[in-house]
Amino acid sequence: MSSLKSAKHLLMFRDWSSHEINGVIEKAIEIKNDPEQYRLSLKDKSLAMVFQKTSTRTRVSFEVAMTQLGGHGVYLDWRTTNFMLADIRDETQYLSRNVDCIMARLLRNADLTAMAEASKVPVINGCDEKYHPCQAISDLMTMKEKKGLLKGLKLVYIGVHNNVCNSLIEGCTKTGVRITTVTPLINEPAIDKELVEKAKQTGLHETTLDVKEAVKDADFVYTDTWIDMEFFLDSKFKEKKEQRIKLMKPYQINSELLKESNALIMHDMPIHRGYEISAKVIEGPNSIIYEQSENRLHSAKGILLKLLGKT
């Protein structure tokens, strides 16, 4: 087990410097290009992966990353563990005495913070209601791969202001990327006024509702689901879902919107085809969505090596 006294976590980017974020991105690209060199980097190390919500990419990328780095990922479904019944701090105290790192996808950021405070080992936020830093690292890695640098690029995020949007704003402004958000709706649980204010002070973040103008000179256009995954199929959410779709429909990413744009198209997935983005754009020549999702694996490796002191 790790003997870290005060572990470095990845809960959001507030405590991460630009240098650290760029370092993980560069390492992820290096690992992707030469995976063999890192085959035993985490030999005999274990990662606990705690999931209170559904996931495809976050679970697969971290589990495969651990295997390919010579270590082991232990999947824990919240509902079949005693996290369900006990105080999160006690369960975390135990867990962090048996594994070298914890990655958790929890419903509430407050619980993730409690987990990090109780943990002796690094805790990684696998997406809560406020932030999704692992996704943002993968996104920035993909952008750097495509353009060779990050500084000076322009990303336009169109959709609901949510956890993914928060981490993109923080990640972009810390790495010199200009980010314009077109978000007619804010997911209330995701509100972080301090993060947005800080980002605006860098001069790299602006907001607008003029979606056509925003995409004209964009290098990347990015969207995400309008409705959080846990609510999409929930009948109790039906009315709210219909209201949202009506409000958001003019902001769909489709060929008409992109008529005068050469931007590369991004989406963190899962996709709701025909809602936030048209099928034609998903499958079009400018879409880098599947490469972006593949990079979750390489960036997970970069994050794990950084937090386990192997860089």
- Pair of tokens at residue 226: 């309008």
Choosing from 269, 282, 291, 311, the residue that interacts with ligand CP (CB under 6 A) is: 269
The Cα 306–Cα 71 span in angstroms is 15
Q: Are 305 and 152 in contact (CB under 8 A)?
A: no
Question: Binding-site residue total for ligand CP (CB under 6 A)?
Answer: 9
Question: Which sign, positive or negative, has the C-alpha torsion 266, 271, 276, 280?
Answer: positive
Residues 216-255 that bind ligand CP (CB under 6 A): none
Give yes or no for residue 282 binding ligand CP (CB under 6 A): no
- Contact region with ligand CP (CB under 6 A), list: 2-10, 13-21, 80-88, 265-273: 265-273
- Pair of tokens at residue 140: 């920035």
Q: Min. distance of Cβ 295 from ligand CP in angstroms?
A: 11
Q: Min. distance of Cβ 229 from ligand CP in angstroms?
A: 6
Q: Are 164 and 135 in contact (CB under 8 A)?
A: yes
The span from the first CA to the last CA of the chain, in angstroms, equals 18
The Cα 94–Cα 133 span in angstroms is 25
Q: Min. distance of Cβ 304 from ligand CP in angstroms?
A: 16
Q: Min. distance of Cβ 70 from ligand CP in angstroms?
A: 23
Q: Min. distance of Cβ 177 from ligand CP in angstroms?
A: 19
Cβ proximity to ligand CP, 56 vs 243, nearer residue:
56
Q: Min. distance of Cβ 270 from ligand CP in angstroms?
A: 6
Distances (CA, A) of 97 to 60, 74, 101, 120, 197: 24, 14, 10, 7, 38
- Contact region with ligand CP (CB under 6 A), list: 108-116, 239-247, 262-270, 278-286: 262-270
Cβ proximity to ligand CP, 101 vs 118, nearer residue:
101
Q: Min. distance of Cβ 57 from ligand CP in angstroms?
A: 4
Three-state SS for 148-168 is CCCCCCEEEEEEEECHHHHHH
Choosing from 109, 119, 135, 173, the residue that interacts with ligand CP (CB under 6 A) is: 135
Cβ proximity to ligand CP, 52 vs 135, nearer residue:
135
The Cα 51–Cα 97 span in angstroms is 19
Give yes or no for residue 268 binding ligand CP (CB under 6 A): yes
Cβ proximity to ligand CP, 56 vs 82, nearer residue:
56
- Pair of tokens at residue 303: 């994050």
Q: Which residues of 89-122 are buried (b: 16+ CB within 10 A; e: fewer)?
A: eebbeebbeebbbbbbbbeebebbbbbbebbbbb
Question: Which sign, positive or negative, has the C-alpha torsion 225, 227, 233, 239?
Answer: negative
> Which position has the token pair 């993909």?
142
Q: Min. distance of Cβ 242 from ligand CP in angstroms?
A: 23
Residues 50-109 that bind ligand CP (CB under 6 A): 55-58
- Contact region with ligand CP (CB under 6 A), list: 80-88, 145-153, 179-187, 264-272: 264-272
Task: Report the interface residues with ligand CP, using CB under 6 A.
Answer: 55-58, 127, 135, 268-270
